[in-house]
Each structure stands twice: as structure tokens, then as C-alpha cells.
Amino acid sequence: MFHGKNYMQVIALIPSYNPSEQLVSLVQKLAAGVFDAVIVVNDGSAPEFDHCFSDSEKIQNVTVLHHAVNLGKGAALKAGLNYIYCHYKECIGVVAVDADGQHLAVDATKVAMTLRKNPESLIIGARAFDGAVPMRSRFGNSFTRTIFRVLTGKKISDTQSGLRGIPQAMIPSLLKTSANGYEFELDMLLACKYTGRQIIEESISTVYLEGNKSSHFNPLIDSMKIYFVLFRFTLAALLSAVIDYTVFIFVYHLSSSISASQASARLVSMGFNYTAIKKAVFYSNQKTTSTFPKYLILVCISGFVSFLLIKGFVMFLNFPVVVAKVVAESIVFLANFAIQRDFIFINRHTECPLKATVH
């Protein structure tokens, strides 16, 4: 196949575990379309599914990779991404397509064309969730979408879509992630948020065959993994709170001074909190000289507001000091989180000049 000098290669990637007969048909359509190659990853499927992969491999420009055992969707995606990055160095990106019949070849083509127009952006094939949608799928996506928006400040209508256009430049960082299950796809979105990569949503059809029974997504186990990825954002804050409360109670026991206790608690917890928030929560790549002064101002202001609230609760509502402290800190927590997320630990994209926006 000859292409002009400026042709932009796009490769299709299909992670597959115990696939239905529809896999071969999907591979045929993708290989006959706009894709320069199709990579299928057999993620440790049972022997009775071997014919699906052998039939797929007979199709021109199709390669099948095999896992000896089932390692998870994330692991299968990473295996395919690694292969593509090593063997198709001229391609601009990869379109990941699910093998369970949810994604139509025409929609995969739409995502590929959008990726060609925006080769530095992550493209999400976004479903409208209209018609007969299984309750577990409707609820799961709605809940994850809401939590994702609260914690990242970004609105994405379909956080769980497996149809994605992945830029070539993004692959190395994705290969370093530890996630091997469905949570890998959420990590991909978080990586965009915290590296400033643009996310574009492309409208696709909502397809659920026979109640989506061919899907291997476990609503309980896999959802817990996904939500753990999201709620790790609060872990650093909780650990900081433990330090803060411990110091506050200790100093208050010695001095009976709310102001001295509050100042001591903030001073001790600040060092841990700053490092954890910058590195483990917001993955900020800015210099400390840029972020720390702003962080210090926020600590002083929020600490003073918390102090006023504690004094007010104790004086006017007769709260015990420790209870007042918990209530006050809970009130300022969300404001602190939003300010740090959107104004202090904002990132500068190190791979492309686009700012993080979601359409």
C-alpha cells in the first residue's frame, strides 16, 4: 500500500478475551477501511476460541499477539501499544476498539479521522446512552462521570468508553502505568488531565448486544478498581488531616490555645501535604519556586478561616474543640481541593502545546 509523503498512519488495536464470532467480522471491516494495520491481542483466551484468532490472522495487515494467561484489559492494551510503538514508528496514533460488539467499524473510522485532524489529542468515542441500555452500564458510567468531574474539574460524558484514539506521543507514559485492568482506561483520562493533554469527544452509536452479556466487565470488582483510582486523590488529604489533628490535639492539651494549636498543626502537616499533593495527587510538573508560594498563601488563608470557624463553633454553638476542628476542616476541604487543582498545581504539557480542554 503506497501513501504520500504526508500520509498519517493510524493503527487499530483490539484487546480480546474469549471473543464472540463477531471478532473476525470486525477485524475484516477495520482492515478493509482506513486503518493501515490491525493488531489483535489474545488476552489468554480459552482454547475453544483459537479459531477466532487464527481466522483473524489470515486477513491482510492483521497481526495477533498472545498472552499465555488472562492478564486484564489494561495489560492487553499495553501489549498492543508497545508492539505498535516499536513496529509502526511513523503512525500518528492508535484507535483502541472493544471486541465485544459494542463498537461499530464506522464509529472506529470516525474516531480515526478525528485523530488525524488532532494528532496530539486523546479522542473518546462518546455514547449517548439512549435506547435500551443495561442498568449497570447506565448507572456505572453516570456515577463515574460525576466523581471524575468533581475530582478533576473536567466534564467527560463517557468516561468508560473503550473506543479511543490514542496519540503516538502518549504511548510511552501509558506503558509505565501499573494498572492492568479496566482502571487503565481511567488512568488514561487522568494522565490527560495532569499533563494538559486535550480530550475530544466524538459522538458514536450506543450498542449493547443481548444486554451486553459478552462483556467481561465485573460490575463489583472492576468498578471498585476504577473508583480506587479516583479516590486515591483524597488519600494524601486524609493522611495530612491525621497529622494535622494529632498535632492540634496535642498542642491544645498542653496550651488550651486554639490559635497556637491551629498554627502548630498547619506548620507540621504542611511539609507532608505539599509534597504529597504535588507529586502523588496532582502530578504537577511545575517548579517548587512557582507552586510553593501560592500553596503557602492558601495554607495561611485557609488556616485562618478554619481558626475563625473553630472559634465560632466553640463560642456560639458550644461545640467541643475537637468536634469544631473536624467540622471546620471539612468545610474548607473542598475549597482547598478546588483551588489547588485549578490554580496552584496546574500543569504545563511537556509533549505538546495544547491546553487541557474537553469538548
User: Which residue did the predictor score with more confidence, 16 or 179?
Assistant: 16
Tens digits of residue pLDDT in 15-51: 999 998 899 999 999 999 999 999 999 999 999 999 9
Buried b (16+ CB within 10 A) or exposed e, 195-228: bbbbbbbbebbbbbeeebebbbbeeeebbebbbe
Tens digits of residue pLDDT in 72-112: 999 999 999 999 999 999 999 999 999 987 889 999 999 99
Please say if the pLDDT value at position 71 is more than 60. yes
As a whole number of angstroms, the distance between CA 224 and CA 245 comes to 29
As a whole number of angstroms, the distance between CA 332 and CA 305 comes to 8
As a whole number of angstroms, the distance between CA 125 and CA 123 comes to 7
- The pLDDT of residue 140 is 61
- The pLDDT of residue 255 is 95
- The pLDDT of residue 227 is 64
User: Which residue did the predictor score with more confidence, 344 or 303?
Assistant: 303
User: Which residue did the predictor score with more confidence, 31 or 193?
Assistant: 31
DSSP assignment of 85-118 equals HHH-TTEEEEEE--SSS-S-HHHHHHHHHHHHHS
Round to the nearest angstrom and report the end-to-end CA distance of the chain. Answer: 35
Q: What is the CATH number of domain 9-219?
A: 3.90.550.10
Please say if the pLDDT value at position 115 is more than 80. yes
Domain ranges for the chain: 9-219, 233-344
As a whole number of angstroms, the distance between CA 163 and CA 320 comes to 53
Query: Cα separations (Å) of 95 from 111, 157, 358?
Result: 7, 19, 19
As a whole number of angstroms, the distance between CA 319 and CA 281 comes to 33
- The pLDDT of residue 241 is 83
Share of the chain above pLDDT 90, in %: 52
Please say if the pLDDT value at position 212 is more than 50. no
Share of the chain above pLDDT 70, in %: 81
How many other C-beta atoms lie within 10 A of the C-beta of residue 246?
13
- The pLDDT of residue 282 is 64
CA 33 to chain centre: 29
* Cβ burial, residue 92 (10 Å; 0-12/13-18/19+): buried
Q: Which helix (H) or strand (E) holds 189?
A: helix 183-193
Q: Are residues 103 and 162 in contact, defined by beta-carbon separation less than 8 angstroms?
A: yes
Confidence label for 221 from pLDDT (cuts 50, 70 and 90): low
- The pLDDT of residue 353 is 31
User: Which residue did the predictor score with more confidence, 197 or 165?
Assistant: 165
Please say if the pLDDT value at position 182 is more than 90. no
Closest CA to 225 of 73, 103, 84, 336: 73
